Copies of this chain bind each other. A is one copy, B any other.
């Protein structure tokens, strides 16, 4: 049994004067303060960064971060797994505890994206499809078009995801976009790839997040209450090009997570999912079993996934409003669950929150999935 005993995070946004290392150190310190434990208790470090090597030639960054935290001798692993980089580091940390390697493990994800070196995010610039125009927003737009064609999903239903996201983000001081947007404003924002307008695409960001995981024995002494029910990492099949209205990885990873934890979608009080684009959130509703296939559009428009609704989704503002510093995102989603399960989420607190699910996916082939993670946490 693994418990989550501490979380730390920065706001997400442009941070031109910060390095990857300084962001990582900040959230590591914050997580230690939150957990209120001694540095000597931390037995291993898992560090996620997706873009540092490509953009800046930086490698083995984790050792620099953990050394600055005073944790210079522990096992340190650097991992990269596209948008699931952070949640993959989390997955490894819980393996280390379950394997008995250590009692306490720290996970840190830090990313710098708001730099000229980034250029266009193309998800595979050497692929023929990319060169023909199939950049990431286009691939999600194609899924949206197909969803509209197949299920009668409307532009308004899709755009409703952003309206909800901005509304939630007004309650989250860490988010990038904290002003309400009306349905009309979302639909009238500049088109990116029809039907997706600019307000329906998540922004890049600099930022970092950290978590401290501990064995049950260790956490019980501290009277901590957030328990890991399951953490699943899976890879994509590349086999669903004929059916672009669903991600086979969502279905499969969710089935595995629900089976391992004995928790079903009807038991969830809160979901943080990978809303890189509005249509993605709608498809994830279906993949996670929050509604039947094809019913994601009406669910989005119904208000059921808003704070106070049947199953609140992305009350943090999600990727769409909080921003998406790649390797920090998967950890921040879990950190949001931790705050909610501790009933410390302030104005965006989900009432009686006892079980939460964080979902993340990463890919590089035009929106096809390469990896998917699902983490389920509960309040003991």
By a beta-carbon cutoff of 8 Å, the part of chain A in contact with chain B is 45, 50, 53-54, 57, 59-60, 63, 66-67, 71-82, 88, 91-92, 95-96, 98-101, 125, 232-239, 252, 362, 364, 370-371
- Per the bound structure, the CA–CA distance linking A238 and B60 in Å amounts to 14
- Per the bound structure, the CA–CA distance linking A91 and B79 in Å amounts to 13
Q: How far is the CB of A237 from chain B (nearest CB, A)?
A: 5
- Per the bound structure, the CA–CA distance linking A77 and B362 in Å amounts to 12
Contact B80 A235 (CB under 8 A): no
Q: Contacts A99-B99, A371-B63: A77 and B364 contacting too (C-beta < 8 A)? A: no
List of B residues within 8 angstroms of A63 by Cβ: 235-236, 370-371
Instruction: Please give 11 more A-B residue pairs, beta carbons under 8 A apart, in addition to A63-B235, A67-B236.
Output: A57-B125, A60-B81, A63-B236, A63-B370, A72-B236, A75-B233, A77-B88, A92-B92, A95-B95, A95-B96, A98-B101
Q: How far is the CB of A56 from chain B (nearest CB, A)?
A: 9
Interface centre among A59, A88, A98 (most CB of B within 10 A): A59
List of B residues within 8 angstroms of A76 by Cβ: 81, 233, 235, 371
Contact B59 A235 (CB under 8 A): no
List of B residues within 8 angstroms of A67 by Cβ: 235-236, 238
- Per the bound structure, the CA–CA distance linking A144 and B119 in Å amounts to 44
